[in-house]
Amino acid sequence: MHVTCRIRTKFQLGIAFFVFLLTTSVLANPIIPIPTQPQQPTFTPSAPNMDATGYILIDGSTGKVLAEKNADTRMPPASLTKLMSLYIISAAIKSGQIHMDDKVRISTKAWKTEGSRMFVKVGDDVPVRDLLQGIIVDSGNDATVALAEYVAGTEEAFVSMMNQQAKLLGMNNSHFMDSTGLPNKEHYSTPHDLAILVQAYIKNFPEDYSFYSEKWFTYNGIRQPNRNRLLWRYQYADGLKTGHTNEAGYCLVASAKKDGMRLISVVMGAPSDLARTEDSIRLLTYGFRFFETHKLYNASTPLLQARVWQGMKPEISLGVPEDFYVTVPAGQYKRLQATLALNNPLKAPVMKGQTCGTINVTLGDQVIASKPLVALDNSPQGGFLRRAADSVRYNLHKYFSKPEEKLNTG
């Protein structure tokens, strides 16, 4: 069964699911109102043209790709690799495997690692918090190897964890050979994969994300600036990480938030430090100016009451399992439509979290977002008499009900 409704800014969004049982029907509950939005441009220009080898711009809430070039082409990521290392480290902190105040003994291997440094010394006992800042702000290879060894015992074991995590996140064109990003022909990633990684990091570890906006970090009397120039040049930027080798060129993964909308940009293979900064600003400015993101539904909020056959209760509340956002070109919000498809029939037992249908949001003829519609509570099977009566009612329902019902709210 399908229900179609137009999304209006001056009306509540309503979805109705009709089940006719001789003299009874089940109606949808009112949906959360969508606030009126200011008038925006109704056209979307082409994305900025840039000399970088590859780039991508996505919305941080929806993952919607707003601009891209060679986004799935494998490239050397240089120190952008550390974003995956930091994901593993933050996961270890969140799970309680390691703690911010733990002291990490610096090995000879960590101290000797080439490239950018935090300038730790062999045998020093350095808090996890300081090493974390040394990776994020200083891009310290020495700090990265030290924490990799602390989390996994060896850097090699840590790299195995990185590759396993990449698969879990759907980073299908990434493979890591070390924790730092030193050149290796078997070490690669893509703009799209790195955008997926950053989206997951911000969602899963918001408590650690504040480190990425720090402009300076001082350790052992040495004060170093964050290499991410966006923190000084772009007012909405609050992260994340730079990278550079001769093979990779100049790279920058950035994120910025404006008026509740978060964007993530990845620039790889830019010709200079200045170019990667300016390219990132162009992408972020383009995204904020010509696109908008809206929350349509709150997680676990009842959207409708659906008929449950042979259950102890005749109805069950359905909703979305997580906040439902959509990203659309500016000025196109009023053209959105929502279509609801329910599994029919819905028979007990129904368990909380069980998928009972789908909500599709379309712009014109294109589906731009979908979410499962899930049960918000349990509906156990009813007794013998309830099941027998519902079997009769259901057969009558199939005979008398129409194949499709629609409700327009505008």
Burial of residue 364 (CB within 10 Å: 0-12, 13-18, 19+) is exposed
* Dihedral of the alpha carbons of 259, 262, 267, 273, in degrees to the nearest 10: 50
Tell which residue, 198, 207, 256, has the closest CA to residue 63: 198
- How large is the angle between the packed helices 141-152 and 128-136, nearest 10 degrees? 130
Catalytic residue among 61, 64, 82, 90: 82
Distance (Å, rounded) from C-alpha 56 to C-alpha 195? Answer: 8
Cβ atoms 171, 201 nearer than 8 A: no
Beta bridge partners of 16: none
Catalytic residue among 61, 64, 79, 317: 79
Burial of residue 368 (CB within 10 Å: 0-12, 13-18, 19+) is middle
Q: CA angle 239-242-245, nearest 5°?
A: 175
Cα–Cα distance, 176 to 296 (Å, whole number): 38
Give the H or E element holding residue 111: helix 108-112
Q: Is 139 a catalytic residue?
A: yes
**Measured CA angle at 364 (ends 363, 369), to 5 deg:** 30
Angle of helix 155-169 relative to helix 141-152, nearest 10 degrees, comes to 90
Q: Please tell me which residue in 139, 174, 280, 317 is annotated as part of the active site.
A: 139
Catalytic (active-site) positions: 79, 82, 139
